Amino acid sequence: TDKPTNLLWSSQTVFNKDPNLNERSYNLEWMKSIPEETPLSAIAIPGTHESLTLYKGLFASYLQSQVWSLKDQLNVGVRYFDFHWMFWQHTELDNVFRDILDFLRDHKSETVILKVTLHGLYKKKVAQLTKELIDNFRNKIWTKTMTPNMKDARGNIVFLQTDVFHAGTENHDSRFFERNRLKNVEERLKQIKSHICEHHIVVTETSTSLFNSPKTFAQNVNKWLYNFVERHKKISKNYGCLGVISMNFPSTQLIKNIIQKNVLSAFNYSILKPNCFILTHSK
């Protein structure tokens, strides 16, 4: 098991429950310096799990996964969004697409990876609506199975396949987490890189406990994620295989730390030619 080093993090470093976001924490165009030929798979990308679950009602402590709005998440540097759509959401799906595309219009160097999972009574209806939206914005949404490079991805949404949506980039589970702990990551990175990552997105999922709220869960797991990024920057031989990290209640520092990982990846890309797209996903 890969154990966190206490010197690398504090609760303020990895976890955030404050909905207010200072403009000094913005990372609006952090992808601008990434070379055009770099595949999206070779970039460390901060993401959020259940990105629009901002529920503030009676059961907020058990349901809420994020505190920042979609626009704030975009501004702080989040470039992967995991939307779990149920029969009731506070934001309409078409508004989500428009907000993301408005951001990409203003910040053409960026791209956004989007995964939509449907639940509840109106699953079939929402699936049809989503497919219509994808068709309406088809010139701005990447739905191919292959992973795009930055030249093709900039200014566009990269849509991921699910059991409902067959159009999009294929993805698999990397199983980096076992019982909410990172295990043998370097060895598994080697296996994934040689067998799967040349062609598919790999999703690393952590399973939540029935006895912990998303907030309590994030306070613990985000420590492991922070340590994962720090150690990967310093000792990993698998450059470019960090991929997307999907989080609950991430801090601005944790997001910034993931973004800064790309300095090392870009430096080594021309030599190592990574082709591995991994999503580390807090579920």
Instruction: State the pLDDT at residue 182.
Output: 74
Tell me how far apart the alpha carbons of residues 144 and 170 are, in angstroms, rounded to a whole number: 9
Domains belonging to the chain, first-starting first, are 6-282 (3.20.20.190)
Identify the weakest region by mean pLDDT among 30-34, 52-56, 140-144: 52-56
Tell me how far apart the alpha carbons of residues 155 and 276 are, in angstroms, rounded to a whole number: 22
Find the helix or strand (DSSP H, E) in which 104 lies: helix 93-106
Enumerate the β-bridge partners of residue 160.
169
Concatenated DSSP letters of 165-212:
--SSB-EEE---EETTEE-SHHHHHHHHHHHTTTTSEEEEEEPPPTTS
Which is higher by pLDDT, 3 or 61?
61
Mean pLDDT computed over every residue of the chain: 80
In angstroms, how far apart are the furthest CA atoms of the chain?
A: 53
Mean pLDDT of 196-202: 65
The alpha carbon dihedral of 133, 135, 139, 144 has a sign of: positive
Tell me how far apart the alpha carbons of residues 88 and 119 are, in angstroms, rounded to a whole number: 10
Highest mean predicted confidence (pLDDT) among 11-15, 48-52, 208-212: 48-52
Identify the weakest region by mean pLDDT among 12-16, 70-74, 83-87, 235-239: 235-239
Instruction: State the pLDDT at residue 168.
Output: 93
Concatenated DSSP letters of 114-182:
EEEEE-STTHHHHHHHHHHHHHHTGGGEE--SSPPBHHHHTTSEEEBP-SS--SSB-EEE---EETTEE
**Phi and psi for 80 in degrees, rounded to 5?**
-130, 130
Tell me how far apart the alpha carbons of residues 5 and 223 are, in angstroms, rounded to a whole number: 9
Going by pLDDT thresholds of 50, 70 and 90, the confidence category of residue 117 is confident
Mean pLDDT of 214-228: 86
Instruction: State the pLDDT at residue 274.
Output: 47
Query: Cβ of 119: how many Cβ atoms within 10 Å?
Result: 11
Q: Starting from the edge strand earliest in sequence, which strands make up the sheet with 244-247, in order?
A: 141-142, 157-159, 112-118, 80-85, 45-48, 244-247, 277-282, 201-206, 171-173
Instruction: State the pLDDT at residue 89.
Output: 55
Query: Cβ of 188: how many Cβ atoms within 10 Å?
Result: 19
Residue 127 has pLDDT above 90, yes or no: no
Residue 62 has pLDDT above 90, yes or no: no
Task: Say if residues 175 and 204 touch (Cβ distance below 8 Å).
Answer: yes
Measured distance between the N- and C-terminal CA atoms of the chain, rounded to whole angstroms: 20
Tokens of 204: 């690393």
Residue 106 has pLDDT above 60, yes or no: yes
Instruction: State the pLDDT at residue 271.
Output: 44
Chain centroid, CA 222 distance in Å: 14
Residue 38 has pLDDT above 50, yes or no: yes
